[in-house]
A and B are shown apart, each in its own frame.
Chain A
């Protein structure tokens, strides 16, 4: 047994209202730069739908992830090492910008510089790639809320597995949101596809990162990732991906997407797993056994032997305690309500989902039945074959049994809690039907409905003895790095060349640059305009106010008299 720790996430899809706050805050934190306009480390998809990039789940086309050879050995679905090197000059499986969308901005100049005229001036869209006028035809969530509609829903690759016989019924019956970030897999195929070895998995917490100094822009990771969560920065020529907000989690605070989630549906915690069993689990012959196989790779952090092995492996004591308190471990292995996204890709994903019961509840309620009654709900789970089969395509490689079990458990919790809330005698028969006790069902309810911040996010900080080197603690001077304190902006070889700088410095520069530029494709003239989107209300970005004529004469904080 070789114990390793992994930071993981669980999302409760029943609570997702599709508000995209996670996407927006993530974008503002991480991909708010030129070259990554089309990059969404976090995106929210309406399902059924095509997803982002379009139809990324169609692995017959994109060939991401792993597959078994005829002799039952694990290999990259996109081909072995030699094949990758031979196709390195033109990657045959790389999504084009059309599969994402062409990023655009608006020609605001025509508004702000318009002379007095009879007609209202219009800002037309301009491509951020070529600077030319463009037509907006797609975006990261263009099919938002259109789940199952004829134009979009039926292009969902997952619907291939479900016959379209009941399509019309299904169009009316269900739709849900699926927020996605990088899965930080135990067996990451992006890392395995990288010719340069620039993508690595951190030994301490399992976060998968791209070393920007080693990436050479071969693009194989983009093809290798079946979730298409590695993106190519088209200005720097380097791959970028979700970082699990490592500068935040290193100091014990949750990722930006989790922190800002309005529905509080995200859980972050550690799981301990046996690194020696990963390969065997990923090689499980039957796709439908992969969910169980991955669950068995996880170790019980309360098992004394596991604790001893973890200590031997150098995992600090507070990390082991955190693993014991981990909501992620509880949801995956104790309550067994969380399921992995597409286990059939064999990457052992580490962002899991509690499938939504709401499509089922909605149907029961719409038909006039009691949607809190466990009998009705159980019957509906059985009867609503299409939603359940669809969820199974997402989470269990098509095996409806585990999905059924989870939905029945959620239905039982709903039913059981109604009795409690109404002051009635709780019916112990309900939890018994789903193999639980009333006490555990109540605990599950607490975790899903009431859990506070420190129960939802159990993130042990990185270790004090290493802390002075961590990005955001900076007990060393933040500017104390090679080449610092450079405030130099771009190097001589184009955007972002030159040595690396700490994230804090980089963010500062980026914000400054963004505030003072709004040219379209190539910000050559970082002159005198300000981007209000990034202005946090503090300070006076240059160009925000016209020069001179300030009332009160030079007091920057002075109040401006309202004009009549």
Chain B
């Protein structure tokens, strides 16, 4: 473990991640401050809903499962799952089956959505250049990830990313980056990771920001929201069935 990583490896597996994370975090802060009005899903359902009804849930539910899988695979160390008695084989089988299933759903959904975007006139006219870049990065990342998983498992000895990619990913967040781990990973994983970092760096400037608006608060808030005309939002207890003032700017 003495061989020091090459400059290129440091660039790719240390600098790029940190730059991407910084852009991701600061970009979101800046976007939220500057552009609350532009923070939306920019739905195109008004134009077309037949294809959307098929593609959109496939894609979104698929990618939610994919996201949960990534959190589990990247952040939870192998020793922890071992400690609670989940064997390597069991983990691997579950991860591959769920992952491939979710990945195929996601990619199918994305394919339907891209097809819809290209062929339905009004949807196509409403597609910005920003959207197109986002689609390339997003679909590219998903395809690379799914491809790596599927192709890797067709061989006899699939690469155990929990020995390489995951520790490297965690090492970034503990500020003791270990680029040599990633440099040794198979090409598919490296390409997938690079595509993902570029996606994260682009994220705050695209419509993907709507991910952070997942309206879970809806499950607990009172149905009717009352707000005072006063921009400072002093609701003075006059509300039914309970005040929900906000300190946001005045109505528009």
Report yes or no: A130 in contact with B38, Cβ–Cβ below 8 A: no
Mark interface residues in A275-314 (1 if CB within 8 Å of B CB, else 0).
Answer: 1101100000000000000000000000000000000011
B47 near A211: Cβ-Cβ < 8 Å:
no
Of B73-81, B142-150, B226-234, the one contacting chain A is B226-234
How many whole Å from B4's CB to the nearest CB in chain A?
A: 41
Q: Name which residue of chain A comes closest to B52, CB basis.
A: A90
Asked whether A503 lies within 8 Å of B252 as measured between CB atoms, the reply is: yes
Inter-chain contact A217/B121, CB cutoff 8 Å = no
Our pick among A130, A187, A203, A212 for the contact of B229 (Cβ within 8 Å) is A203
| B240-A279 in contact (CB<8A) | yes
In the complex, whether B217 has a CB less than 8 A from a CB of chain A is yes
Query: Which listed residue (B48, B219, B227, B251) contacts A203, Cβ 8 A?
Result: B227
The reply to whether the CB of B85 lies closer than 8 angstroms to some CB of chain A is: no
The secondary-structure label for the interface of chain B is loop
Do the beta carbons of A462 and B229 come within 8 Å of each other? yes
Mark contacts of A209-233 with chain B using CB atoms, 8 A cut-off: 1 yes-contact digit, 0 otherwise.
1011111111100000000000010
Q: Quick check: is B250 within 8 A (CB to CB) of the other chain?
A: yes
Q: How far is the CA of A204 from the CA of B238 in the complex (A)?
A: 9
Of A79-87, A253-261, A317-325, which stretch is located at the interface? A79-87
Interface size classification for chain A: 35 or more
- Is A512 interfacial (CB 8 A cutoff)? no
Kindly state whether residue B221 has any CB partner on chain A within 8 Å.
yes
Alpha-carbon gap, A17 to B41, bound state (A)? 41
User: Is B225's CB under 8 angstroms from A199's CB?
Assistant: yes
Contact B37 A202 (CB under 8 A): no
* Chain B contacts for A234, CB-based, 8 A: 44, 46-47, 126
Which residues does chain A contribute within 8 Å of B52, judged by CB atoms? 90
Query: Chain B residues near A212 (CB, 8 Å)?
Result: 37, 252
Interface members, chain B 158-173 (any A CB < 8 Å):
none
Once the chains bind, are A500 and B57 in contact (CB under 8 Å)? no
Q: Which of A218, A278, A483 has the most CB of B within 10 A?
A: A218
Q: Is the CB of A90 within 8 A of B236?
A: no
A89-B60, A216-B210 known; A493+B38 contact, CB < 8 A? yes
Decide if A202 touches B229 in the complex (CB within 8 Å).
yes
- A483 to B241 alpha-carbon distance, docked (Å): 36
Within 8 A of B (CB), among A186-214: 187-188, 191-192, 194-197, 199-205, 209, 211-214
Task: Determine the chain A residues whose CB is within 8 A of the CB of B215 once the complex forms.
Answer: 85, 88, 195-197, 216, 218
The residues of B that contact A491 with a CB separation of less than 8 Å are 34-35, 37-38
Residue on A nearest B238 in the bound complex, by CB = A203
Say which one of A235-243, A332-340, A377-385 lies at the interface with B: A235-243
- Kindly specify which of A91-99, A168-176, A428-436 makes contact with the partner chain: A91-99
A92-B53, A500-B252 are contacts. A197–B45 as well, Cβ < 8 Å?
A: no
In the bound complex, do residue A203 and residue B236 qualify as a contact, i.e. CB atoms below 8 Å apart?
yes
- In the complex, chain A residues whose CB is within 8 Å of the CB of B221: 197
The residues of A that contact B224 with a CB separation of less than 8 Å are 187-188, 191-192, 201
Which residues of the other chain, A, contact B46 by a CB distance below 8 angstroms? 94, 96-97, 232, 234
| B230: A residues at CB distance < 8 A | 466, 469
Cα A235 to Cα B37 with chains together (Å): 12
Assess whether A90 is in contact with B240, with CB atoms less than 8 Å apart.
no
Is the beta-carbon distance between B244 and A197 smaller than 8 angstroms? yes
Nearest chain B CB to A417 CB, angstrom units: 42
Q: In this complex, what residue of A is CB-closest to B240?
A: A275
Known contacts A85-B219, A97-B46, A201-B226; A216/B251 CB under 8 A: no
> How far is B39's CA from A499's CA once the two chains are assembled, in angstroms?
11
User: Are B228 and A203 interface neighbours, CB within 8 A?
Assistant: yes
B174 contacts the other chain (Cβ, under 8 Å)? no
Q: Measured between alpha carbons, how far is A471 from B43 in the docked complex, in Å?
A: 30
Q: Which residues of B contact A483 (CB under 8 A)?
A: 34
Instruction: Please determine whether A237 and B36 come into contact, CB atoms closer than 8 angstroms.
Output: no
B212 → chain A closest CB, angstroms: 10
Residue of B nearest to A239 (CB): B40
A residues in contact with B126, CB < 8 Å: 129, 234-235
Question: What is the minimal beta-carbon distance from B40 to any residue of chain A, in angstroms?
Answer: 4
Which residue of B is nearest A99, CB measured?
B46
Known: A89-B61, A493-B130, A498-B35. A130 touches B219 (CB 8 A): no
CB contacts (< 8 Å) of A499 on chain B: these are 34-37
Given A2-B240, A130-B125, A235-B126, A216:B40 Cβ within 8 A: yes
Question: Of the candidates B59, B122, B244, which one forms a contact with A97 in the assembled complex, judged by CB atoms under 8 Å apart?
Answer: B122
A448 within 8 Å of B by Cβ? no
Question: Nearest chain-B residue to A80 (Cβ)?
Answer: B219
Q: B82: shortest Cβ distance to chain A, in Å? A: 35
B128 contacts chain A at the CB level, 8 A cutoff? yes
**For the complex, what is the distance from the CA of A218 to the CA of B217, rounded to whole Å?**
14
Task: Report whether A130 and B37 are in contact in the complex, using a CB–CB cutoff of 8 Å.
Answer: no
- Please pick, from A197, A209, A521, the residue contacting B251 in the complex, using a CB distance under 8 A: A209
A215 and B215 alpha carbons, distance in the complex (Å): 11
Q: Mark B3-44, 1 if CB is under 8 A from A, else 0.
A: 000000000000000000000000000000011111111111
* Known A96-B49, A127-B122, A496-B37: A200·B236 in contact at CB below 8 Å: no
CB <8 Å contact, B223 and A191:
yes
Q: 1/0 contact trace for A410-434 toward B, CB 8 Å?
A: 0000000000000000000000000
CB-based contact A2/B238 at 8 Å: yes
A-chain residues with CB within 8 Å of residue B38 when the two chains form the complex: 236, 491, 493-494, 496-498
- Among residues of B, the one whose C-beta sits closest to the C-beta of A195 is B215
Closest to A197 in B: B225
CB distance from A164 to the nearest CB of B (A): 32
Least CB distance from A240 to B in Å reads 10
Chain B CB within 8 A of A131 CB: yes
Residues on the B chain within 8 Å of A270, using CB: none
Residues of A within 8 A of B59 (CB): 89
Query: Cα distance A188–B227 when bound, in Å?
Result: 14
B-side contacts of A219, CB under 8 Å = 43, 45
Question: A75: nearest residue on chain B (CB-CB)?
Answer: B223
Residues B229 and A201 in contact, CB atoms below 8 Å apart? no
Give 1 or 0 for each of A470-509: 1 = CB within 8 Å of chain B CB. 0100000000000100000001111011111001000000
CA distance A217 to B42 in the complex (A): 6
B205 at the interface (CB under 8 A from A): yes
Asked if B124 CB lies within 8 Å of chain A CBs, one says: yes
B35 touches A130 (CB 8 A): no
Chain B 236-252 interface mask (CB, 8 Å, partner A; 1/0): 10111100101011111
Chain A nearest Cβ from B205, distance in angstroms: 7
Given contacts A131-B125, A498-B38, 13 further A-B contacts (CB under 8 A): A90-B53, A97-B122, A201-B227, A204-B228, A211-B227, A212-B37, A217-B41, A250-B229, A275-B238, A491-B35, A496-B38, A497-B37, A522-B125
- Could you show 15 A-B contacts with beta carbons less than 8 Å apart? A89-B57, A94-B49, A96-B48, A96-B49, A195-B218, A209-B251, A211-B227, A211-B252, A214-B248, A237-B43, A238-B40, A469-B250, A492-B35, A493-B35, A522-B125
A-B pairs, 6 with minimum CB distance:
A497-B38, A195-B215, A130-B121, A129-B122, A237-B42, A192-B223
Binding site for B on A (CB under 8 A): 2, 4, 81-82, 84-85, 88-92, 94, 96-97, 127, 129-132, 187-188, 191-192, 194-197, 199-205, 209, 211-219, 232, 234-238, 246, 250, 275-276, 278-279, 313-314, 462, 466, 469, 471, 483, 491-494, 496-500, 503, 521-522
